[in-house]
Amino acid sequence: MRHLTLISGADDTHTLDALFINAPLRDYGLRPRTNDYTLPVLGMAYIATYAQRCGFNVGVLDAEAHGLGIEATAKIVNTAAPRWAAMNLLAPTYEMSARIAAKLDPGIALMVGGHHAKAMPDRILADSRMHNLRALVLGEGELRVAALLEDEQRRRGLPAVLWRDPISGTRAGGIADPATSAQMLGPNINTLPYVNRAFLPQDPYQAAPTVTDRRLAASRGADWLTAAALHGHREANIVGSRGCPYNCTFCGAAWSANPDVKIRVRSPENILGELDQLHDEYGVTAFRFVDDLFLGVRDVIYEHMAVFARHRIGEKYVWDATGRINVLDRLSDDDLDVLVANGLREVALGIESGSDRILKAMDKRIDAEMTERVALRLLSHGIGVKGYFILGFPGETREDLDATVQHIRNLWAIADHHPGDIRASVFEFRPYPGTPVWKTLTAAGHKPDDLLAYGDVDLTQDGADESMRQRDEFNFSVGIQFGGVPLEDLRATLAMLTREQHERNQGGREVAA
């Protein structure tokens, strides 16, 4: 029963209507997790929050955050005995999810959703390990999950809900009411309740102080910034929008993989209400926007920054956000000054490669020169940059890989002469079903079973042990050489760059989060 305390947000005095399960990336019962923090499951928490608001007793079991193995996770679910177990299926964790599902008591009904469920529904419906799968929900789940919790038979009238017919064994689906389908599939995100952070065991969290925090404290002189420079901010993750207008070929959020998703942006007033709530309830003073659009559309930036300025947000909070290089390239210096005044601390950029040829194959709509130009302008304004890079993209040659290594070192050199810092986060390419590049790979003869054979990779043999500590959950691979560089060399390069970034961190630059 002690392990039931790992269930977040539920009322343990009443029967659980649903337990939402985030499967671990690997079986931590076999090898313990080494990192201390994982990204919160905001999408799952949104669904749980809405269900709770509708009167259902629900909880979240984040097996990845708690470092649980397959056996421990299944035991907790069976002991809790919810009416429904709900899983968010992702390609890297699908095997873990299926193995957990196979161990669940037959009296627990199973529902699933997520990118993998959307990309490969028939494959999942046919998986015998999902023996009690009663609803596969495609797309955003808040309204339809609540309807299923109210009455399983409602699935017959819900859009984009599938199940396996118990008699024929074939796919069955609801016949939706056209008058309600659009709202069911794409709810108004300004009317959804703010995420109940009780469902997130690691958010908000206490972050370590950074070089940027110390710089901001010195330049602005505010007492709360001085305290953060000494002790770190209380931080929380947040989303400001849903959907993405871009079509990066490797990304599960690419618009061609999600033609049913209507792009929606939360109103700035709605966002500010959540910032203030998190500050009042948890003492949060730093926020991380993890969605694709917050600094990805110029009109959205202008609209939100006008309201941020009116409410003097930069005097109360700092925040980080994802951004698009081509969009930031079109902002003026005055626009960047406005972002800084409104509290912008760091921008996460999908830089991906230093090879213009590979960037074109990725449909990134940028080139290496543009990235260095944007980084220079951001860093000179004191805005930090976290750059994400992919090694081993299909067709990548040794020259392309060398260009990426040089690109990262050029960006580090720029940071060495400006107040902002740049952190490089490097990953091995992984194919995701439903993405444009997945279709290219399967058309070229790669078998889906091979592309889905995810396994974790231990990079400590390349001397990157401590430097890999905060990215244990990202070191996994399907074990296929997609470009011209052998995997052994690719991983040695990844470990080298990660170690060099770690050494920069230890030398006084910002500590990776």
Q: Which long-range contacts (CB under 8 A, 24 or more apart) does 299-302 make?
A: 300/241, 300/265, 301/327, 301/331, 301/335, 301/339, 302/335
**Residue 207 contacts by C-beta under 8 Å, 6 or more apart in sequence?**
232, 233, 234, 235, 286, 513
CA 60-346-341 angle, 5° bins: 115
User: Contact 392/487 with Cβ under 8 angstroms?
Assistant: yes
Residue showing tokens 């989060």: 513
Tell me, what's the pLDDT at 453? Answer: 92
> pTM of the full predicted structure?
0.92
User: Domain 204-506's class?
Assistant: alpha beta
pLDDT band for 183, please (50, 70, 90 cuts): confident
Domain edges within the chain: 2-185, 204-506
Nearest CA-CA partner of 117 in 138, 141, 92, 140: 138
Four-point Cα dihedral 487, 489, 495, 497, nearest 10 = -120
CA 295-298-302 angle, 5° bins: 90
User: Contact 43/88 with Cβ under 8 angstroms?
Assistant: yes
Rounded-to-integer distance, Cα 463 and Cα 473, Å: 18
* pLDDT tens digits for range 372-387: 999 999 999 999 999 9
Is the per-residue pLDDT at 168 higher than 90? no
Q: Which helix (H) or strand (E) holds 273?
A: helix 268-282
pLDDT band for 102, please (50, 70, 90 cuts): very high
* pLDDT tens digits for range 123-135: 999 999 999 999 9
In the sheet where 84-88 sits, what is the strand order?
58-62, 18-22, 84-88, 109-113, 133-137, 161-164, 171-173
* pLDDT tens digits for range 197-207: 999 999 999 98
pLDDT band for 465, please (50, 70, 90 cuts): low
Count Cβ atoms below 10 Å from residue 126 Cβ, excluding itself.
Answer: 13
Q: What is the DSSP letter of 155?
A: G
Dihedral sign, Cα of residue 132, residue 133, residue 135, residue 137: positive
Q: Where are the beta strands (DSSP E) in 314-380?
A: 318-323, 344-352
CATH of domain 2-185: 3.40.50.280
Phi, psi (degrees; rounded to nearest 5) at 476: -140, 160
Average pLDDT over residues 134-154: 95
* pLDDT tens digits for range 44-58: 999 999 999 999 999
Pairing state between β 384-391 and 344-352: parallel
What SS3 state is found at 322?
Answer: strand
